[in-house]
A and B are shown apart, each in its own frame.
Chain A
Amino acid sequence: MLRLLQCEYIKLKRSKFLLIGILGTLIVPLFVYVKAIINYLSNPEMVMSLFSLYDNAFMFLMLLFAPMVLTILYAWIISREYTDGTLKNIFVIPVSQTIFFCGKLLFLAILTFMFMLISWLEILVLAFLCNCFIPVTELTIPSIIFFLIKMLLGGILLFATQTPFIYFTIRTRGFVAPLIAITAVILINVVLSSSGVAGFYPWSASYLLISGHLSRQSCPKEISISIILIMCLLGIIASLLRFKKEEIK
């Protein structure tokens, strides 16, 4: 397994997609800060708190940006094995389909955590920078660690809600279908996020769970979590079954 991860890492060398992904995750915190500073300038008595910064970042990341970026990255990492035709080289080694698939999943999960960590770190660095000019409240070690844990939990939820797109990628062997699907999902996210049923919709539910806004909804926490979990498992099982049937045409 370690070797598979190592190989996945080598495969990313010089790839533009990874760079695009990282740049993409860097944009969200910047955007959050620009918004907060404009807010502050027009309304100086408003306090800029670490909580509000992270809260905003969660919203943009979990509802809009991260699903998009991750889907593109996931789809590319999986579909390239088809488009480059390298699967036939791997299957004859032999690496079993199941192990190869699990290796990919694990690698994608690690990538997701890496992105969340980058976002967390960027917000933090920017908060300290900002603190030099505009006071940022709640800048304490416990709250920093609290948000780190939240970010990582967010990573888990993001990964869990991505599995259906992995299935689409494997099914269509390309990354057009998952891209269309994720666009639709995000549009619905935007529509639903303020309505009462958002807790039943896995993609907005994961945001609500992390940001703690779920309590405002009628949907209990347990139901949201189980919906996400079931979808994740279904996605993984469907993908694996599909991948195991894979024949090199």
Chain B
Amino acid sequence: MSDYIIETKNLTKMYGMGKSVADLNIHVQKGRIYGLLGRNGAGKTTTMKMLLGLTQPTTGEVLIWEKPLRGNERKILPRIGSLIEAPSFYPNLTATENLHIFATLRGVPNPHAIKDALDLVRLPYKDKKLFSQYSLGMKQRLAIALAIMHDPELLILDEPINGLDPIGIAEVRSFIRQLCDEKGKTILISSHILSEISLLADDIGIIDKGILLEEESLAKLEQRSSKYIHFTISDTAQAARILEQIFDEKQFLIQDDYNIRLYNLNLSVTKIVSVFIENGLEVSEAHTCGDSLEEHFKRITGGEGIA
């Protein structure tokens, strides 16, 4: 029994001869924000479309709430809110009328759901302005309003901050964070901007040319990428004393009886290790962790990096 809200099994999508998505296995956990990171054309949108049943996978399977999506769409999809690619609405209608159409077709959790959704994204309710007269940012906000109007448990948002101004980006970001932290929603978002994902996501999946290169929690990634020297030794107490007495170094953190981290990268690891050994300590591991997130991504995506 897994706790995954979304799980894909060898999800593959072929377009003609090329694979747009290849053997993708992603795992989205309940109550967390999963960030799908990849360059434009890496297969993020195709993946999300398959998760929503908008395109059928060539092979593989999508499990949502542990049930296969195929055949259970009527039960599963109303519990999901989604925003895929560019915001799309009827240009000759106002925002409220547009939402009204989708509310009529799907149903809503309360009678003032349309107003609530528009309030949340700061668009006016029952405004006279037509969708065709909206700016890109406002269109994007309306699309977000549509995604959250029925208070879904799971949100699938494809590049939700596209077209927003910096203030709007910050607003949407804190709003998404809030949905997850306060309301316990599960959220899958995609972006091609590393900094955006690292600010928002709890778990990160890196996708490049349709292949999932890495799936890891941000905490682990950050831990790995912050700069320090990690030692695994037989006695941290003596190690601490030696560091203070011999190297006059106080910037360290003792994790438990065997693990200690040193935050001064100017010291020579070999010298420290040899002094530790001289003093009768057993050193089973010593390494420098010095990749920044960017460097890390550059390395695993094969050098080109992500914006």
Contact = CB atoms under 8 A, between A and B. Distances in A.
Chains A and B touch each other in the complex, with CB atoms below 8 Å apart: yes
Interface of A: 3-4, 6-7, 10-11, 13-15, 80, 84-86, 88-95, 247-249
B77 A93 contact: yes
A91 B90 contact: no
A17 to B, nearest CB: 10
Nearest to A80: B90
A84 B84 contact: no
A88 B88 contact: yes
B104 interface: yes
A80 B88 CA distance: 11
B182 to A, nearest CB: 25
A84 B93 contact: no
A10 B82 contact: no
B130 interface: yes
A93 B106 contact: yes
Nearest to A14: B92
A247 B54 contact: yes
Contacts of A84: 88-91
A7 to B, nearest CB: 5
Nearest to A248: B54
A248 B86 CA distance: 12
Chain A CB within 10 Å, residue with most, of B53, B80, B90: B90
Given A7-B101, A13-B97, A84-B91, 14 more contacts: A6-B104, A84-B90, A85-B85, A86-B90, A88-B84, A88-B85, A88-B88, A89-B146, A90-B102, A90-B105, A92-B52, A93-B105, A94-B53, A247-B56
Given A13-B97, A92-B82, A248 B74 contact: no
Contact of A93 (B56, B78, B100): B78
B78 A94 contact: yes
B39 interface: no
B40 to A, nearest CB: 16
B73 interface: yes
22 contacts: A3-B105, A7-B105, A10-B93, A11-B90, A13-B93, A14-B92, A14-B130, A84-B91, A85-B88, A88-B49, A89-B88, A89-B89, A89-B102, A91-B52, A92-B77, A92-B80, A93-B77, A93-B105, A94-B77, A95-B105, A247-B56, A248-B54
Contacts of A89: 88-89, 102, 146
A16 B45 CA distance: 34
Interface string B61-103: 0000000000001100110101011101111110001001110
A232 to B, nearest CB: 28
B53 A91 contact: yes
Top 9 closest A-B pairs, CB basis? A85-B88, A248-B54, A94-B77, A247-B55, A93-B106, A14-B92, A7-B101, A94-B73, A92-B52
A147 to B, nearest CB: 35
Interface residues of B, number: 30
A13 B100 CA distance: 13
B104 A7 contact: yes
Contacts of A86: 88-90
A191 B85 CA distance: 48
Nearest to A86: B88
Contacts of B104: 3, 6-7
B77 A10 contact: no
Contacts of B74: 94
B100 A10 contact: yes
A94 B53 CA distance: 10
Given A94-B77, A248-B55, A85 B130 contact: no
A62 B253 CA distance: 87
A106 to B, nearest CB: 15
Nearest to A82: B88
Interface in B250-264: none
A15 B92 contact: yes
Contacts of B53: 91-92, 94
B214 to A, nearest CB: 28
Contacts of B106: 93
A171 to B, nearest CB: 18
Nearest to B100: A10
A15 B132 CA distance: 12
A88 B82 CA distance: 9
B54 A92 contact: yes
Nearest to B77: A94
Contacts of B78: 93-94
A30 to B, nearest CB: 28
A21 to B, nearest CB: 15
Contacts of B90: 11, 80, 84, 86
A90 B52 CA distance: 11
